[in-house]
Amino acid sequence: MDAPLQNLRRAVQALRPHLETPDQQAELSVIEDALARLSAPRITPASLGEFDPSRLSHLLEITGPDLGPELLARLTEDLTSTRDLLETGANQTDWKSLREGSHVLISLSGSVGALSLQAMSESLNAIAHRQDSDALATLMPPLAEELVTLIQLIRAARSPDGIAR
């Protein structure tokens, strides 16, 4: 469905200069909104709990097709670095690294719509502040699984120009 969506996107862009009234522009916006929903990443693996794809789509939309690939690459890089930091922090019971990584992951996961991962990151931050080893051991496996899944999802996402990254 990528080619038809690209064609529709081009048609919408070509039509815009020919619309004369605010009502026509508003109608075109409705089409663009529907196009954004159709272009939204549809990958919602079972191991990723609550996910709102409209957040990632919105980020890609406001970034635009020229910077979309860069955004996806940066998200992948930041999430991978955070995964590594949290993995090391958990293995070494480094509470400072866990607090730092959880702060980053709260922001990133919320921004892209990984709502269950965001909630787990908030729990991780509280656990790191309490220095609760038992709670850490319970939380890290599902958090790590969702984080790996989110990284895969971001890698498979499409920028607004429809090109897979």
Q: Using alpha carbons only, give the angle 119, 112, 42 rounded to the nearest 5 degrees.
A: 110
Domain limits for position 91:
40-156
The tokens for 32 are 């663009």
Intra-chain end-to-end CA distance of the chain, in Å: 16
| In a domain? residue 24 | no
- Is the pTM higher than 0.75? The answer reads no
Instruction: Tell which residue, 60, 80, 54, has the closest CA to residue 72.
Output: 60
In a domain, 123, yes or no: yes
In a domain, 95, yes or no: yes
Domain count, the chain: 1
Per-residue pLDDT of the chain (165 residues; tens, 9 = 90+): 567 878 888 888 899 899 889 888 888 888 887 777 676 655 545 567 898 888 998 999 898 888 989 999 999 999 999 999 999 999 999 999 999 999 999 999 999 999 999 999 999 999 999 999 999 999 999 999 999 999 988 988 764 444 343
